[in-house]
């Protein structure tokens, strides 16, 4: 039950003055409440102004700059009405001791103009000044009041992100009424932290954000923004912690076999594990041995060697008689995992199968029978694995590769196909710590640092497309020396046809220029065609592979040494880093050529610079976050931090860490939120729409 003290905040916005059903719809679209119900007063209140108008700016007419919003103390001069049927505007002149200005009106009623701007009288007028042919003018001033009424004009007005059809004044009026509805709420932050930060209480913070006294009040680092952002972060961290605690009590299965099968897998590898691979395996073994479910993120830069960690730990689960699933984001990757794991599995005695969307019905039925009979220990596949019709005899562990491409639902869907399924998420896009926290909550994390021994760093250069021929020449020289080259063509998102034309064209040009066969891989080819092309390239029958970004993740040809990325300016940082990670996997020095088409925009230029300067995936991810906010890294392409209305991953990273610790401490001392602070925290969860987590509390 929602605490009644919150009722005023959960009233629909249409209860506010000036908001009818039509406006309510616009507001809902703007503030993003739940899709199936009207936006609430709380939804509206979390719509924070992005800037403000300061009407205290009174420079005088002559000193008003073009584009500034100013307040002028003027004497109204002559009105000049346009001739009838003319499209010309109505003009009113006015002056102060510094100069003269014209107020300009289109389609305004004359009687209203004469009443509002009475000739010869003093008026306080506020609006945006524009200089036109060296003369100042103001089109449709926002305010015109007599000196006695001057205090009716708000000195500072918040400016909200708006949507078409919704007037700023309507929103301001509704917001004012909404602020008056904010009840006195119990304090959910602990006293020492409040004292240390000096933050105001929630109600005061929110009210100030909607009636700021200066620009600094609505900036991300103001105490008012920090307070509300922290509340939002705490609500989310607490909810995640509750979900996680619940998941743990739901019980996993203790899996502690003697490790024979794991050892067999490791012995079958043609190399030694690195220390951080060993550590990660140890972490995961320990998780599996606990009676709770595992939820762990394995982070490691491209080429760090995550796959063998997954396989070794899957072996542990398989030894107990359960089954494992490994999910890859693309078919190529699934096939590649399958191919690279097959010899090891065979040697270790693990029965493995591949499942993709391309399987025939007959193949699928056969596979399904084997899964149900427990005749398959490990299935590698694409999202085909998620399908409701796929079942297992006893699914014990799921590994999700390149997680950021899958939604959380899909992850949960798969783990519900078994009892107490342990989940390992692997990501090669090194997600910055702050985003791990916001999106996964307090997930356990293992990191693979560095790369397997013997790897050489990759030299990166950026070159203008004008020098295409020169680059082709160098590629030719390299292939004659026996090197292998990837050549990536960009995705033109609007049209798959144009993409196709572009890679086919480049393929032709390269074959012609190099005088040898060149492989081609793109999304429209059949699996068999792709496999054949990849095989040719892997085995060295061809030395150049032209591809669209289908090769972006995971593809592994250890002796490829050159990566050419055409139209590099169109790619995001994370994507460039992923692509570059396809080379530098063997012991030979490698290079990456970023072919760009100038002139470069600021962000594109910054990206290419970062790529040249560093090979460190974590650094690149942080920069990426800085350059474009969190949304795109996770593929959600929203502005701001996904799932949050106020808090921002870039600006409030420090608060996120505190909120996580705070949430953990809260659940340690008061797991059922029964204390006085616990009751207040329940309010907080409702307030930010995280109340689903409350259902998980045993005491309801």
Q: Identify which of residues 64 and 575 has a Cβ nearer to ligand ADP in the complex.
A: 575
- Longest Cα separation, the chain: 99
430 binds ligand ADP (CB under 6 A): no
Pairing of strands 590-596, 458-464: parallel
State the angle between helix axes of 433-440 and 653-669 in degrees (0 to 180), rounded to the nearest 10. Answer: 40
Partner touching 274 among Mg ion, ligand ADP, none, CB below 5 to 8 Å by kind: ligand ADP
Which DSSP symbol is given to 520? E
The Cα–Cα gap between 199 and 9 comes to: 22
| Residues near 543 by beta carbon (within 8 Å), at least 6 away in sequence | 479, 482, 483, 484, 485, 516, 537
554 binds Mg ion (CB under 5 A): yes
Stretch that binds Mg ion, among 51-59, 74-82, 273-281, 547-555 (CB under 5 A): 547-555
- The pattern of x and - marking residues 448 through 467 that bind ligand ADP according to CB under 6 A reads ----x---------------
Stretch that binds ligand ADP, among 106-114, 117-125, 257-265, 300-308 (CB under 6 A): 300-308
Lookup: tokens for 8: 């005023």
The Cα–Cα gap between 385 and 676 comes to: 46
The Cα–Cα gap between 37 and 27 comes to: 12
Q: How does 267-282 read in b/e, with b if 16+ C-beta sit within 10 Å?
A: ebbeeebbebbebbbe
Q: Identify which of residues 304 and 673 has a Cβ nearer to ligand ADP in the complex.
A: 304
Q: Identify which of residues 3 and 558 has a Cβ nearer to ligand ADP in the complex.
A: 558
Partner touching 303 among Mg ion, ligand ADP, none, CB below 5 to 8 Å by kind: ligand ADP
Shortest distance, position 301 Cβ to Mg ion, whole Å? 10
Q: Identify which of residues 114 and 340 has a Cβ nearer to Mg ion in the complex.
A: 340
Footprint on residues 62-81 left by ligand ADP (CB under 6 A):
none
Shortest distance, position 399 Cβ to Mg ion, whole Å? 11
533 binds ligand ADP (CB under 6 A): no
Q: Identify which of residues 274 and 434 has a Cβ nearer to ligand ADP in the complex.
A: 274
330 binds ligand ADP (CB under 6 A): no
With H, G, I as helix, E, B as strand and everything else as coil, classify residue 439: helix
Shortest distance, position 308 Cβ to ligand ADP, whole Å? 5
Partner touching 302 among Mg ion, ligand ADP, none, CB below 5 to 8 Å by kind: ligand ADP
274 binds ligand ADP (CB under 6 A): yes
The Cα–Cα gap between 483 and 664 comes to: 52
Residue at shortest CB range from ligand ADP: 305
The Cα–Cα gap between 94 and 137 comes to: 10
Q: How does 153-192 read in b/e, with b if 16+ C-beta sit within 10 Å?
A: beeebbebeeeeebeeebbbebbebbbebbeebbebbeee
218 binds ligand ADP (CB under 6 A): no
Which DSSP symbol is given to 40? B
Partner touching 237 among Mg ion, ligand ADP, none, CB below 5 to 8 Å by kind: none
Footprint on residues 557-586 left by ligand ADP (CB under 6 A):
558, 585
Partner touching 300 among Mg ion, ligand ADP, none, CB below 5 to 8 Å by kind: ligand ADP
- The pattern of x and - marking residues 156 through 195 that bind ligand ADP according to CB under 6 A reads ----------------------------------------
Q: Identify which of residues 466 and 587 has a Cβ nearer to ligand ADP in the complex.
A: 587
Partner touching 305 among Mg ion, ligand ADP, none, CB below 5 to 8 Å by kind: ligand ADP
Stretch that binds ligand ADP, among 146-154, 228-236, 250-258, 273-281 (CB under 6 A): 273-281
Pairing of strands 90-95, 69-80: antiparallel
Stretch that binds ligand ADP, among 116-124, 177-185, 267-275, 324-332 (CB under 6 A): 267-275
User: How many C-beta neighbours within 10 Å does residue 562 have?
Assistant: 22
Partner touching 476 among ligand ADP, Mg ion, none, CB below 5 to 8 Å by kind: none
Q: Identify which of residues 253 and 298 has a Cβ nearer to ligand ADP in the complex.
A: 298
Query: Order of strands, edge to edge, in the sheet holding 484-488?
Result: 458-464, 590-596, 560-566, 484-488, 544-547, 519-521
| Residues near 274 by beta carbon (within 8 Å), at least 6 away in sequence | 305, 448, 450, 452, 453
Partner touching 158 among ligand ADP, Mg ion, none, CB below 5 to 8 Å by kind: none
How many residues touch ligand ADP under the rule CB under 6 A: the total is: 19
Pairing of strands 295-300, 422-427: parallel
Lookup: tokens for 180: 């008056």
Footprint on residues 302-321 left by ligand ADP (CB under 6 A):
302-308
With H, G, I as helix, E, B as strand and everything else as coil, classify residue 152: helix
Q: Identify which of residues 418 and 554 has a Cβ nearer to Mg ion in the complex.
A: 554
The Cα–Cα gap between 455 and 677 comes to: 53
First-to-last alpha carbon distance for the chain, in angstroms, is 9
Whats the size of the chain, residue-wise?
Answer: 700
With H, G, I as helix, E, B as strand and everything else as coil, classify residue 298: strand
Residue numbers of the site for Mg ion (CB under 5 A)? Answer: 554
**Contacting positions for ligand ADP (CB under 6 A):** 271-274, 277, 300, 302-308, 428, 452, 554, 556, 558, 585
């Amino acid at each position: 039950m929602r605490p009644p003290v919150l009722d005023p905040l959960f009233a629909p916005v249409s209860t506010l003055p000036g908001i009818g059903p039509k406006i309510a719809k616009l507001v809902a679209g703007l503030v993003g409440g739940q899709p199936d119900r009207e936006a609430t007063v709380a939804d509206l209140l979390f719509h924070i102004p992005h800037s403000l108008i300061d009407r205290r700016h009174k420079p005088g007419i002559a000193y008003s700059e073009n584009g500034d919003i100013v307040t002028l103390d003027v004497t109204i001069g002559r009105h000049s009405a346009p001739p009838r049927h003319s499209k010309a505007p109505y003009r009113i002149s006015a002056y102060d001791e510094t100069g003269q200005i014209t107020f300009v009106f289109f389609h305004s009623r004359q009687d209203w103009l004469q009443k509002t701007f009475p000739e010869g009288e003093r008026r306080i007028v506020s609006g945006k000044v524009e200089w036109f042919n060296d003369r100042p003018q103001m089109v449709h001033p926002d305010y015109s009041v007599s000196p006695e009424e001057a205090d009716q004009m708000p000195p500072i007005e918040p400016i909200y992100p708006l949507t078409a059809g919704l007037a700023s004044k309507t929103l301001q009026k509704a917001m004012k009424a909404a602020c008056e509805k904010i009840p006195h709420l119990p304090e959910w932050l602990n006293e020492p932290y409040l004292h240390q930060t000096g933050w105001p209480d929630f109600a005061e913070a929110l009210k100030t954000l909607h009636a700021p006294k200066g620009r600094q009040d609505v900036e991300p680092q103001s105490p008012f923004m920090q307070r509300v952002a922290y509340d939002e972060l705490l609500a989310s961290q607490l909810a995640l912690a509750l979900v996680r605690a619940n998941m743990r009590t739901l019980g996993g299965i203790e899996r502690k076999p003697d490790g024979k099968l794991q050892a067999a897998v490791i012995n079958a590898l043609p190399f030694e594990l690195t220390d951080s691979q060993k550590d990660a395996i140890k972490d995961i073994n320990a998780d599996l041995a606990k009676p709770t479910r595992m939820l762990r993120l394995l982070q490691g830069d491209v080429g760090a060697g995550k796959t063998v960690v997954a396989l070794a730990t899957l072996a542990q689960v398989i030894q107990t008689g359960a089954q494992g699933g490994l999910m890859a984001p693309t078919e190529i990757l699934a096939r590649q995992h399958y191919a690279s794991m097959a010899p090891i599995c065979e040697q270790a005695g693990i029965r493995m199968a591949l499942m993709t969307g391309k399987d025939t019905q007959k193949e699928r039925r056969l596979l399904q029978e084997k899964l149900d009979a427990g005749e398959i220990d490990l299935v590698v596949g694409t999202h085909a694995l998620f399908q409701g019709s796929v079942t297992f005899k006893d699914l014990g562990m799921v590994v999700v590769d390149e997680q950021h491409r899958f939604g959380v639902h899909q992850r949960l869907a798969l783990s519900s196909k078994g009892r107490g399924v342990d989940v390992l998420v692997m990501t090669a896009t090194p997600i910055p710590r702050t985003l791990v926290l916001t999106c996964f909550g307090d997930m356990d994390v293992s990191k693979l640092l560095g790369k397997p021994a013997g790897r050489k760093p990759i030299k990166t250069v950026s070159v203008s497309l004008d020098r295409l021929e020169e680059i082709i020449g160098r590629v030719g020289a390299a292939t004659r020396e026996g090197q292998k080259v990837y050549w990536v063509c960009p995705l033109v998102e609007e049209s798959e046809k144009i993409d196709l034309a572009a890679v086919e064209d480049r393929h032709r040009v390269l074959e012609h220029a190099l005088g040898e066969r060149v492989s081609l891989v793109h999304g429209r080819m059949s699996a068999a065609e792709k496999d054949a092309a990849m095989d040719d390239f892997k085995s060295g029958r061809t030395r150049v592979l032209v591809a669209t970004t289908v090769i972006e993740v995971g593809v592994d040809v250890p002796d490829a040494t050159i990566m050419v990325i055409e139209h590099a300016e169109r790619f995001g940082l994370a994507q460039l880093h992923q692509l570059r990670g396809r080379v530098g996997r063997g012991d030979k020095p490698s290079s990456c050529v970023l072919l760009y088409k100038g002139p470069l925009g600021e962000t594109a230029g910054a990206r290419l610079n970062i790529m040249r300067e560093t090979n460190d995936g974590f650094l690149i991810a942080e920069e990426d976050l800085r350059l474009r906010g969190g949304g795109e890294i996770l593929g959600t392409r929203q502005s701001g931090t996904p799932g949050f209305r106020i808090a921002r991953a870039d600006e409030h990273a420090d608060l996120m860490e505190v909120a996580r610790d705070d949430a953990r401490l809260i659940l340690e001392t008061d797991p059922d939120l029964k204390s006085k602070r616990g009751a207040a925290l329940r309010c907080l969860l409702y307030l930010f729409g995280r109340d689903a987590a409350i259902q998980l509390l045993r005491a309801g």
